[in-house]
Amino acid sequence: MAFKYRSNFLYAAFGLVTILLAIFLSGCWDRREINELAFLSSMAVDLEGEQRLLTYEFVRPVATGGGEKGGGTLNHRQATLRSGRGETLIDAGQQITTGLSRLVYLAHTNAVLVGEEMARRGLGEILDFVDRNPELRRTTLIMVTRGAAREVLTKVQGDIETTLGKEIMGLHKWVQSSGYGFIPTVNDVYFDLSSETATTVLPVVELSPQPFPPVIGAGTPSSGGGSGSTEGRVEEPETVRTVRLNGAGLFYHDKLVAWLDADQTRGWAWVRNKVRRAVLALPCQENNTKVAVDINEAHAEVSLDRQGEQLQGKIKLKVEGILLEQQCKLDFTREEAVKSLENRMAAQITVEISSALNQAKMAGTDVFGFGGALHRRYPEVWRQLEGRWNEEFKKLPVTVSVEAKLRRTGMTGRPWQPGAR
């Protein structure tokens, strides 16, 4: 009898638990319908006095789905923009929501553009804003602009991707193949600013007007005789404002302190192993002609030696390349011609590295990793110099050694000449 009562009690308890689970766990109490969300693609952060200006780029819902429009008219981004001001970034973001018919969804944010004034004030609050928000990710890309970031975000049109955020994602994937560009993530910046030297480099993004193909057959009928047919005529091409990377900003303790031009940025990238491919245009020693060498392998090492009380920095770089274009008639199947070209390859890369190094020294920003090398090899010396390393870096002697090899001459050997068979 006791067993029967015990069984009935277990059945009743199980049934009660099942009912409670059905009540509290069924349904989607925290659901967010996709047609009620405003998907953020990119954002611009600026400083105006003591006010933070936040500009959001949302994917325009009416532009999603369906095929692309035909014709040759100028394409515009499939996006909509909203701006807000506030004493904090959260406050500025809340101002945006007061005029938005959908719930802001930040999880798809591809990029953050930081204006120059905000960058000089410091990246700290932006990094904090990204890191604390559960929807934003550390994989979000981050860049800096000369002047206001809002100017870039609002004026860019784009002609390949539907949003600026997607455009920047594409740049991030392919721009290292040029040697002149790179785009870090927020996590990369956290890692750099948490290192021994607390420095980082952010690429500069700027507007880049480009021609847009005209429509064939859309020309204006000619005045005077004739039938006035426009078939086969074209109008002048329009101009579309795209974006490009051009140089970089040097940051010390999260604050923008100096700029690098495009060549200096590549000089820094050689040392930090951020160059996947690069093209060197070199003199050919013949009537101002040039040869183009495609660098497809590059590896650098940064070290620091101690000789008595004197520290000595060293940069060693090995590169390999392929001859891809030749304007002169030199025969690069000959060993002496190859050696001469390799010397010129090494000389140009050395100039780029030295220029970037001098700029970094002037700003006292060790973005080349000498502080980390010192910490690893001579930790006791680092502890003595850590508090004033930016000043020590300014006077650190550094030798740059570049070893260049020309591995192939492309699909042909000797250059073509008139009458050659």
Q: What is residue 185's DSSP assignment?
A: B
Kindly tell me the sign of the dihedral angle through the C-alpha atoms of 387, 390, 395, 398.
positive
- Note the pLDDT of residue 67: 43
Share of the chain above pLDDT 90, in %: 64
More confident: 238 or 22: 238
More confident: 347 or 176: 347
Over range 211-220, report the average pLDDT: 64
Q: How confident is the model at residue 209 (pLDDT cuts 50, 70, 90)?
A: confident
DSSP 328-363: S---TTSHHHHHHHHHHHHHHHHHHHHHHHHHHHHH
Q: Which domains does the chain have, with CATH numbers?
A: 34-63+75-219+240-260 (no CATH), 262-415 (3.30.300.210)
Task: Give the DSSP H or E segment for 174.
Answer: helix 164-174
Is residue 100 predicted with pLDDT exceeding 50? yes
Q: What is residue 113's DSSP assignment?
A: E
Query: CA dihedral defined by 159, 164, 165, 168, rounded to 10 degrees?
Result: 70
Q: What is residue 87's DSSP assignment?
A: S
Partners of residue 258 on adjacent β-strands:
250
Nearest alpha-carbon partner for 154 in 244, 80, 73: 80
Determine contact, residues 142/201, Cβ cutoff 8 Å.
no
pLDDT tens digits along 349-377: 999 999 999 999 999 999 999 999 999 99
pTM for the whole thing?
0.84
- What residue ranges in 145-277 does DSSP mark as E strands? 199-212, 238-252, 255-260
pLDDT tens digits along 32-61: 678 889 999 999 999 999 999 999 999 988
